[in-house]
Amino acid sequence: MPSGETPESLEQERISLLAELQQRNNRQAIKEKMAKTFGYRRQEIVHKKPSIEDVFERWPALFQMEEINAEFMRITTVPLETKFLVQLDKHSTKLLEVIRSKGGVVKEKTTRTLQVLDETVDITIRRECILKSLMIYLGEPVEHLIKEYQCRKMRFEELEQTTMAIFITGKEDPFHPPKDIKIVIEGTEVLNELPSVATAFAMFFGLINTLNLKYPKRLQFTFEFVQKVLMELDGKSH
């Protein structure tokens, strides 16, 4: 707790933060209140283990890209999105070498994705292809994390039953940006209109940390790779 503050005074800050979110152009005020209530929020998330719906209701600002980046920085002292993208680009040549050298199932499953990568200079598409190929290389099906829909709408039941996933909607072909990229956790849509799949990946990793969640079992290797290799955060895996 910041000195001179009590749980009661910080609860008042939280309530005034909800009011600030209704105003326009007050990014700075939100930023300051989120920083001030960090310890209070962290205790609540770690000790009470509230549902995502409850966190979303009590701390809606925590589900904005800027605040996910800020909260991750407060927890780890590492910049989330910038570090993720810089490291992904830095390791991409080596990663592609390793992935391309594999035969069998990996070769078979990555062929189309790597073909797309070879045919584009768009950095966002290239990063997406590398991340998808990496998941295949690590033996984790891409659709466990990234669910793609050509049409704009996805079935409500699918969303409701989703524990954790990135939804891509309205993607006509691999070379065009989709209409929307969103993140769903425990059936709640927590982020949408993300600029790219790589950014969504980074935000997803950030949310796992800021919400104190475990890595999804079927994506354990992918997120341990992100943690240890890309983010260079050693220590216990989730």
Task: Answer yes or no: are the C-beta atoms of 202 and 124 closer than 8 Å.
Answer: no
Q: How many CB atoms lie within 10 A of CB 216?
A: 19
Q: Per the structure block, which two tokens stand in for 213?
A: 């969640």
163 or 35: which carries more pLDDT confidence? 35
- Which element (helix H / strand E) includes 222? helix 220-225
- Over residues 223-232, the mean pLDDT reads 96
pTM of the predicted structure, to 2 decimals: 0.91
* Pairwise CA distance, residues 58 & 54, whole Å: 6
Residue 156 has pLDDT above 60, yes or no: no
Least confident of 23-37, 54-68, 88-102, 202-216: 23-37
* Pairwise CA distance, residues 235 & 224, whole Å: 10
- Over residues 179-198, the mean pLDDT reads 93
pLDDT of residue 154: 58
| Number of residues that this document lists for the chain | 238
pLDDT of residue 235: 60
Residue 67 backbone dihedrals phi, psi, to 5 degrees: -80, -25
Instruction: Indicate the pLDDT class of residue 4, thresholds 50, 70 and 90.
Output: confident
The 3-state secondary structure of 169-208, one letter per residue: ECCCCCCCCCCEEEEEECCEEEECCCCCHHHHHHHHHHHH
Task: Answer yes or no: are the C-beta atoms of 45 and 55 closer than 8 Å.
Answer: yes
Tens digit of pLDDT for each residue in 23-82?
888 889 999 999 999 999 999 999 999 999 999 999 999 999 999 999 999 999 999 999
